Amino acid sequence: MMGMMFGAVLQNPALCNIPMETEAFITSNLIRFVIFCAGLHTLVHSVVRYSLKK
């Protein structure tokens, strides 16, 4: 739920009255968020696979 809300705010900062001047800033934040989520997913997946091997 929290990730969905964070993504919604990144796509439309006016939801929280955050002033955004440029479209490029929103795009760069969205890319950073996607990379962070992919890295976190990979880390959790690796830890779960490692713990199930033993």
- The proportion of the chain whose per-residue pLDDT surpasses 90, expressed as a percent, equals 33
User: What's the predicted TM-score (pTM) here?
Assistant: 0.58
Cα dihedral value 11, 14, 16, 22, nearest 10: 70
Where are the domains positioned within the chain? 2-53
Q: What is the pLDDT of residue 45?
A: 96
Q: Average pLDDT for residues 37-53, to the nearest whole number?
A: 94
Check pLDDT > 70 for residue 51. Answer: yes
| Cβ 12 vs Cβ 6: under 8 Å | no
Mean pLDDT score across all residues of the chain = 80
